[in-house]
Amino acid sequence: MRLRTLRQRFLLLLLLPVLLLLGVAGLVGFWQVHEHLLEQWRESALFSLEEAAHVIDMRLARPGEALKVVADLQAGRELPAEQWQALLAKVPGVVRAKVEPEPSPTVDGTAEIGPHPGGRGPGAGLGRGMGGMSAEGVTASRGRWGMRLLRVRPAQVAGPEYSTADQANLVTLSYQVQDEQGRTSGRVELIMALEFFLEDLQALRWWQTSQVLLVDRQGRILTSHGYDQPRRGTLDQSGDPLEIQTLAALQRSDSGTLLSGHPARRVSGFFALKQAPWHLVLSAPGDRVLAPVFGFLSAYSLAVAVALGFVGLIILAVTRGITKRVAVLGQAAARVSRGDYAEVEPDACCDEVSQLAMGFNLMLAGLRERDYIKDTFGRYVDEEVARKLMSRPEARRLGGEQRPVAILLTDVRGFTQVCERLSPEQTIAVVNRYLEGIINSIQGHQGIIVDFLGDAALAFFDTLDQPIEQAVRRALCCSLEVRQASQEFNRQARQEGLPELATAIALNAGEVVVGNIGSKARTKFGIVGGPVNLTARLQTLAEGGEIIVSDQFLALAGPAVRVEKSLRSLVKGFPEPVNAHVVSPQQDCGLVMGDDCRLSHLDRA
């Protein structure tokens, strides 16, 4: 998007840093709170799992304790297996009980096994033996001998296996029974519903809101809670990377937590039971765990939006006045481009925009003055000389005053023949480069160029409240520099294969009318009078490379020049012959003037 207005730039350049600052602060705060909440969840999850595992372990230990109580109540009496099974079936949580006395050894060492109804031995109905019990193998075994329960030692926990008859997952708890000598006298198997061990967990708050799995060390899912459908199979069967990592972790450690993604998309924890080779696995979506921090982010984002909107309104209110004032300056600048130099009204306050308005008005004053200088004096007058002249009242009105000046006129000999050898483009290029040196020399000596006549240049040197001798010497120094510039031009022209130019220079001094010549629509600062005409006639008498002066100029120059030759000639416009002198400087121009003959002689006060 291209920003076209100052107000848009203000909004972007001020709101963007604020947005970045608040955004970075929000992200840093989010990350810190995120880490804190995850650490809290880890601690809470492990505590909850440990609490649940303790509850299940207590339930798993309860049948063994009940078995010991039953044995103590019978005072070690020897009872038939059927009576033991009937007593144990009354233990809370027991679905069925199975008692198997150990056969008594015979003399030859073989076990003596009594008859059993249905022709089954004492091991019949165990299904998978120590690994579990089938639906058909949970009936009580009958023997014709009795068994005493003296010492009960837990053997192992197997299952759960689903029983279609009981419509439940059954867990088999196996115990060994020992006699007075510590020998194994039998085995007791208590078949219990898995849900019995989970009953006390229903009251726990997190059990109602989380997803919980009970798995064995191989990852087989024993039961699940908090899912739409009961989970079956193994923990890694779903292909979920977090569950695969959890299975690997619980096979290495008894407890731990895991995270998936940054920020955590899902979280998981596990804890091992002590009474059974099982693990409780807890999992939850990350957004549920991080709900407070996401709520904080939502509130923070809303606050940031409100703050940015408020800041934006302030910026719009503040910049409205600024942009309006800048627009006024822009409109004034557009009027200046059309030549309308109307000033703008500065504000009462003193801020930067007001200073800009005052500076704009100063610029307009300067432009008006520069345009007046350009219109009055042209482009070839040094600005400081022009300001010095403008300080005079007569410089700003039509007409002028009569005062002495020094006059210089340059011309190129044989220029018509030179033009015939060059193309129009080459002719203009040569003239412009030639006149560039002439202009720089005249301006450098405070000369005022009146006009260009093709390859000729007419200039005069005003006294500027100084003696006429100073103007004469500036004109003399200027003529010497013009001749040097012409020689340098010819040197470069020879190198480039261009024709050389022979410059004739005429100098005169006298009283002329100096002032604005023209009309109110167009004026030009110049000179008129007889000395101007005489200068034009003198330059026709000079050869290329010569400096020719009048009697009056020679008298004012004094010893600064040496006359090489003099001549007297009748010229057009003058009834009497005039004297002309070809001169050369006696010494260096700086020594002649007593100082640098350039702008340092101008009174700049």
User: What value does the CA radius of gyration of the chain take, rounded to a whole number of Å?
Assistant: 60
Q: Evaluate whether residue 428 is within a structural domain.
A: yes
Report pLDDT digits (tens) over 52-78. 888 888 888 888 787 777 777 766 667
Q: What is the pLDDT of residue 191?
A: 87
Residue 128 has pLDDT above 60, yes or no: no
Question: Do 519 and 597 have their domain in common?
Answer: yes
- Please confirm whether the linkage preceding 160 is cis (ω < 30° from 0): yes
Question: Do 463 and 360 have their domain in common?
Answer: no
Residue 479 has pLDDT above 80, yes or no: yes
Question: Do 469 and 357 have their domain in common?
Answer: no
Q: What is the pLDDT of residue 340?
A: 76
**Contact (CB, 8 A) for 551 and 509:** no
Nearest to 459 by CA among 512, 406, 519, 498: 406
What is the span of the domain harbouring residue 417?
A: 379-601
Inter-CA distances, 89 with 75, 167, 188, Å: 19, 18, 11
Phi/psi class of residue 109: alpha, beta or left (left: φ > 0; alpha: ψ in -120 to 50)?
left
Last residue in a domain, options 177, 198, 219? 198
Question: Do 356 and 406 have their domain in common?
Answer: no
Q: Evaluate whether residue 298 is within a structural domain.
A: no
d(CA 552, CA 530) in angstroms, rounded, equals 13
Report pLDDT digits (tens) over 362-419. 787 777 766 665 655 555 555 566 666 656 555 555 557 888 999 999 998 888 777 7
Report pLDDT digits (tens) over 222-277. 888 877 777 888 888 888 888 888 889 988 998 888 877 666 677 888 999 888 88
Q: Evaluate whether residue 4 is within a structural domain.
A: no
Q: What is the pLDDT of residue 289?
A: 58
Q: Evaluate whether residue 124 is within a structural domain.
A: yes
DSSP string, 39-107: HHHHHHHHHHHHHHHHHHHHHHHHHHHHHHHHHHHTTT--EEHHHHHHHHTTSTTEEEEEEEEPPEE-T
Question: Do 359 and 446 have their domain in common?
Answer: no
Nearest to 512 by CA among 543, 535, 496: 535
Q: What is the pLDDT of residue 579?
A: 92
Helix H, strand E, coil C: the string for 326-347 is: HHHHHHHHHHHHCCCCCCCCCC
Question: Do 351 and 461 have their domain in common?
Answer: no
Last residue in a domain, options 372, 392, 417? 372
Question: Do 549 and 469 have their domain in common?
Answer: yes
Question: Do 414 and 472 have their domain in common?
Answer: yes
Amino acid in position 396: R
Q: What is the pLDDT of residue 598?
A: 47
Q: Evaluate whether residue 130 is within a structural domain.
A: yes
Nearest to 531 by CA among 478, 452, 586, 471: 471
d(CA 593, CA 477) in angstroms, rounded, equals 8
Least confident of 56-60, 354-358, 420-424: 354-358
Last residue in a domain, options 154, 177, 198? 198
Q: Evaluate whether residue 179 is within a structural domain.
A: yes
Structure tokens at 328: 């006024």
Question: Do 167 and 188 have their domain in common?
Answer: yes
**How many domains, the chain?**
3
Q: Evaluate whether residue 535 is within a structural domain.
A: yes
Question: Do 361 and 396 have their domain in common?
Answer: no
Least confident of 78-82, 179-183, 304-308, 479-483: 179-183
Q: What is the pLDDT of residue 193?
A: 84
Q: Evaluate whether residue 287 is within a structural domain.
A: no
Inter-CA distances, 251 with 217, 238, 246, 299, Å: 6, 18, 9, 42
Question: Do 355 and 460 have their domain in common?
Answer: no
**Contact (CB, 8 A) for 212 and 224:** yes
Q: What is the pLDDT of residue 93?
A: 82
Question: Do 384 and 452 have their domain in common?
Answer: yes
